[in-house]
């Protein structure tokens, strides 16, 4: 179970105060999220040389996000970032921090978790007519230099085309409860083990491997001047009309 620290993330132009939540595992790795747009702000990871690497592109205050039109770390609802300027309700639990909001009858909740196995979990739940929920996670090119992508898909275009990667037939590797030393104290539940390996991203220069698992059908990888962004889509509805989906990023040190 991660420790959670809560602090001010500064004020917005209209005087609203944003809050920053820091989730830290027992290895000293940290994930920071904010109630301003339910954004993911940063991910600090300790490499083989015991140096802190900041894996994501982000800012140090809510005001900087407000002034930036790149939608860093925001939650998309039905393909739109229109809730990015809202302050979401926040609650802390055994998994981590859950941000929730109701907008025009649509209800959305996003839970951020971090395990002792350096898994960053983003879990979505929505109802009221919502068709899809996703997050745009922007990875730093300084932390993951010249990454080599291995996409598990039967239909995709090159990364240079910045196109959607259709994950119709993911790799045979499928997440199961108990894989990778699953931390009982931080119950990232893998949506009943429904996550499948969507991509492996390796930076030989930084000796870091990023494994991506998702329940969604589609993955979009966009090359950016300062790194690359990953966004998922294709959430599935349950029989009662509730969307439940999840993405997990697992970061590992690798010597080769």
- What is the tens place of the pLDDT at every residue in 83-140? 999 999 999 988 899 999 999 999 999 999 998 888 899 999 999 999 999 999 999 9
Lowest mean pLDDT among 53-57, 108-112, 189-193, 198-202: 189-193
Which of 23, 20, 32 shows the shortest CA–CA distance to 57? 32
Q: Which residues contact 110 (CB under 8 A, 6 or more apart)?
A: 38, 75, 88, 98, 99, 100, 122, 123, 124, 133, 135
How far, in Å, CA of 101 to CA of 16, rounded?
A: 16
pTM: 0.88
In this prediction, residue 207 has a pLDDT band, given cuts at 50, 70 and 90, of very high
Half-sphere exposure for 138 (CA within 13 Å, toward CB): 17
Which of 105, 102, 100, 99 shows the shortest CA–CA distance to 128? 105
Which of 16, 17, 65, 63 shows the shortest CA–CA distance to 40? 65
Angle at 54 between CA 162 and CA 199, to 5 degrees: 40
Lowest mean pLDDT among 61-70, 92-101, 212-221: 212-221
DSSP state of 63: H
> What's the total number of domains in the chain?
1
- Domain holding 76: CATH number? 2.70.98.10
Helix (H, G, I), strand (E, B) or coil at 171: coil
Q: To which residue do tokens 């009858």 refer? A: 105
Question: Quick one: tokens of 95?
Answer: 């998994």
Q: What is the mean pLDDT of residues 144-170?
A: 61
Alpha carbon distances (Å) from 38 to 98, 240, 253: 9, 25, 28
At 174-192, the pLDDT tens digits run 455 445 444 444 445 555 5
Domain that holds residue 164: 3-253
How far, in Å, CA of 230 to CA of 117, rounded?
A: 21
Q: Where are the beta strands (DSSP E) in 25-142?
A: 30-34, 40-46, 52-54, 75-77, 89-92, 96-103, 106-114, 119-127, 133-140
pLDDT score of 40 more than 50: yes
Residue 101's beta-bridge partner residues? 108
Give residue 224's Cα distance to chain centre. Answer: 17
């Amino acid at each position: 179970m991660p420790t959670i620290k809560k602090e001010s993330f500064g004020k917005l132009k209209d005087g609203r105060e944003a809050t920053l939540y820091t989730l830290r595992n027992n290895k000293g790795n940290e994930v920071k999220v904010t109630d301003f747009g339910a954004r993911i702000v940063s991910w600090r990871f300790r490499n083989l040389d015991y140096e802190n690497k900041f894996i994501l592109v982000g800012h140090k205050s809510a005001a900087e996000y407000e002034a930036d039109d790149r939608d860093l770390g925001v939650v998309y609802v039905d393909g739109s970032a229109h809730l990015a300027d809202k302050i979401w309700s926040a609650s802390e639990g055994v998994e981590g921090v859950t941000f929730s909001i109701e907008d025009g009858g649509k209800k959305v909740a996003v839970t951020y978790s971090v395990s002792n196995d350096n898994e960053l979990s983003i879990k979505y739940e929505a109802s009221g007519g919502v068709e899809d929920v996703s997050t745009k996670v922007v990875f730093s090119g300084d932390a993951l230099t010249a990454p080599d992508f291995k996409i598990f898909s039967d239909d995709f275009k090159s990364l240079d085309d910045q196109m959607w990667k259709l994950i119709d037939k993911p790799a045979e590797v499928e997440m199961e409860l108990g894989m990778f030393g699953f931390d009982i104290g931080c119950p990232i539940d893998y949506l009943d083990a429904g996550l499948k390996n969507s991509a492996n991203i390796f930076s030989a220069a930084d000796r870091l491997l990023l494994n991506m698992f998702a329940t969604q059908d589609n993955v979009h990888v966009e090359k950016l001047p300062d790194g690359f962004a990953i966004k998922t889509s294709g959430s599935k509805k349950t029989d009662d009309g509730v969307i439940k989906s999840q993405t997990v990023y697992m970061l590992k040190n690798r010597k080769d």
